[in-house]
Amino acid sequence: MGVLSVPDVYRQSTAVQAMEKIINARRNALSQDAVKEQDVWRQMQASLAAERAKLTPAAIRARETALQNRITNAQKEFSGRNQQIQEAAQYAIDEVNRMLVAVIRQVAESRGMNLVLHREQVALNMNTYDITDQVAQQLNKVLPKVTVLPDSEMPIGPPVAAAAPGNGLLTQAAPVPTGPLPLPPVAPPGSAAKP
């Protein structure tokens, strides 16, 4: 019997570290684009508020509609890009997990082990039974890097379920940021104070 810590293997994995760096850079770029777009919305709102007295009701409605359409379209685009980033991260971590299962099996067999448990689920263990470092070293040899597909190659649609490994060893979440990109609220068109 042996134990290992999957989170510790991930932390030592050069493939996971490189993947996280790429994914974090993409999320930062998306966040910066969202901030720039929100600045445009605020400028459009300020411009409308400043010129409201000079515009006809039809012109005001047209500009409010144009602003609302821009906000709606941008939010859809950012949401889609965020999902593509998450899908790319999941694809990469699935590749790591597939190799990790094989490495765990190889290391366990080389030490005569036929059962490997998550270290986090064991109350007490001897260091001689912990194969975390061995697995991490072997994983870095056989998978020094992992493919992170460009966002443009990831489909926008329902999230892909994580591949479940055949022996049930890997059931912990991948160490990648998830969840929707938070967008600060912007006042709806027409809510600006009239001069």
User: What pLDDT digit, counting tens, does each position of 50-78 carry?
Assistant: 999 999 999 999 999 999 999 999 999 99
Q: Is 192 a domain residue?
A: no
- CA–CA separation, 26 vs 14, rounded Å? 19
Q: Is 195 a domain residue?
A: no
Q: Is 149 a domain residue?
A: yes
- pTM for the predicted model, two decimal places: 0.70
**Total of domains in the chain:** 1
Mean pLDDT of the chain: 79
Better-scored residue on pLDDT, 23 or 161: 23
Better-scored residue on pLDDT, 119 or 135: 135
Give the contacts of 35 (CB within 8 A, at least 6 positions apart): none
Token pair for 178:
């998830």
Q: Is 84 a domain residue?
A: yes
Q: Is 159 a domain residue?
A: no
Q: Is 31 a domain residue?
A: yes
Q: Is 182 a domain residue?
A: no
- CA–CA separation, 138 vs 103, rounded Å? 7
| 109: containing domain | 2-153
Q: Is 158 a domain residue?
A: no
Indicate whether 40 pLDDT > 50.
Answer: yes
